[in-house]
Structure 1
Amino acid sequence: MMQTQKWIQRQEKILSRLDDLTYATREQLQITEQLGGSRNAHRILFRMEKEKSISSVRMERKVYYLSNKGKERIGSNQGELKRSWITHTLMRNDLYIKLGMPDTWEVERPVTWGNNKLIPDARFTRNGIHHFVEIDNQQTMRTNEDKIKLYKDLSHVIFKQFHHKPVLIWYTLSKVRREKLKEACTKAGVKHVLH
């Protein structure tokens, strides 16, 4: 009986994490949910998939997401998922883990000021400092440059209100684009970090 209760609690924690992450690899769930070694994590996720709480799709590696049964079980409001989001989402999850899984992490929450609006891929505060995350996956450099201009304007607003400059965190897999993003942020005077 005790073992069953523990299993149910573990499942619900994993389901809730998948609700937050949208898509996740075994490795990401292993770290975020402390599932132990690869064999143990595989065994847990295999059982959950067999029980139809989660589903998966095979890409370079297996990627997990909430099934309709899993969504119902935890009362998720997650809408329809698109395969085109997978790479972007996995990159955002990798950065979330790399940044130490900030407690205040919020995904795609709009920021508005005046007539302007930005939807960062994620945002969080650490030590009272605002951080905004942008994942450079498929958008054009022109789009990135336009966003940097908006972040420059937002930096002034945050500085006036909170007396600090926010940090813009870019995550890209391309060395060439990393250099271009660094150059654009430096030119605009936006405090930034590149991963």
Structure 2
Amino acid sequence: MMTMLATISKEQRRENILLSLKKLGFLSRSQLQKLHRLGGTRNANRILKDLSDYLNVVRLNENIYYLNAEGRQRVGANKVLKKTNQIIHHLMRNSVYISYGCPITWKNEMKLIVKDEITIIADAIFNVANTYHIIEVDHLQKMSVNKEKIRKYKRLIDLGVFEKPPKLIWVTSTHYRKKQLIELSEGLQVIVYLHDDFK
């Protein structure tokens, strides 16, 4: 009986890891450790090696995992991911997801359209107590693009699109860019993190 329970638990953990990759795209070994309580590095590596039939792996500072064709088929994922410079973008966004306690209402790549006047794609959005939290990742992006996004968010607030003013959460890579984003976001509820804050 005990062996059967252990097997079910192991199988459920495997399924949960694959479902996390379906939802979040790319996850580092350390992110998977946090999300699924995989214990130490050695144990996490063993568990992820057991899933190698379903995973692609790329090495950055640590192993980064994403679903291969078999993994996508097993969990019904349609989106095919490839090794690109977007990996770090995903990891930065996923750091926010994990640090905010994996919000149930979290949605990636949300398109906001208002009367054909404004279209903006947020990197992610989640809602807590009727307050939207909008996540934006600043990685390899021109500051002029960030400036335009912030202008659009201010316009959405002016148009009364949100019941309560949203919280804008940025993740960036340098102190200089953090300072620029804070200045550009004046008048908004904003938090700017460095990616290193989550390590």
So what's the TM-score if we normalise by structure 2?
0.89
Tell me the residue number matched to 1:166. 166
Is 1:24 aligned to residue 22 of structure 2? no
Aligned residues: 189
1:99 alignment partner AA? Y
Segments of 5+ residues of structure 1 without an aligned counterpart are none
Is 1:75 aligned to residue 108 of structure 2? no
Tell me the residue number matched to 1:147. 149
Q: Return 167-176 or 81-90, whichever deviates more.
A: 81-90
Report deviation, 1:160: 5.7
Deviations 1:57-101 (A, max 9, x none): 112211011111111111111224342211111111112112222
Question: In the alignment, is the contact (CA less than 8 A) between 1:121 and 1:133 conserved in 2?
Answer: yes
Tell me the residue number matched to 2:197. none
Question: In the alignment, is the contact (CA less than 8 A) between 1:156 and 1:165 conserved in 2?
Answer: no
CA distance in 2, matches of 1:9, 1:59: 28
CA distance in 1, matches of 2:140, 2:45: 31
CA distance in 1, matches of 2:81, 2:101: 28
Question: In the alignment, is the contact (CA less than 8 A) between 1:172 and 1:178 conserved in 2?
Answer: yes
Equivalences for residues 43-192 of structure 1 within 5 A: 43-49=46-52, 52-115=53-116, 116-157=118-159, 159=160, 162=163, 164-186=164-186, 189-192=187-190
Q: Return 113-122 or 1-10, whichever deviates more.
A: 1-10
Q: Return 112-121 or 4-13, whichever deviates more.
A: 4-13
Runs of 4+ aligned structure 1 residues displaced above 4 Å come to none
Deviations 1:156-191 (A, max 9, x none): 23x4651x11111111121111111111111xx222
Helix, strand or coil: the match of 2:140? coil
Helix, strand or coil: the match of 1:170? strand
CA distance in 1, matches of 2:169, 2:54: 34
1:7 alignment partner AA? K
Segments of 5+ residues of structure 2 without an aligned counterpart are 194-199
CA distance in 2, matches of 1:121, 1:102: 15
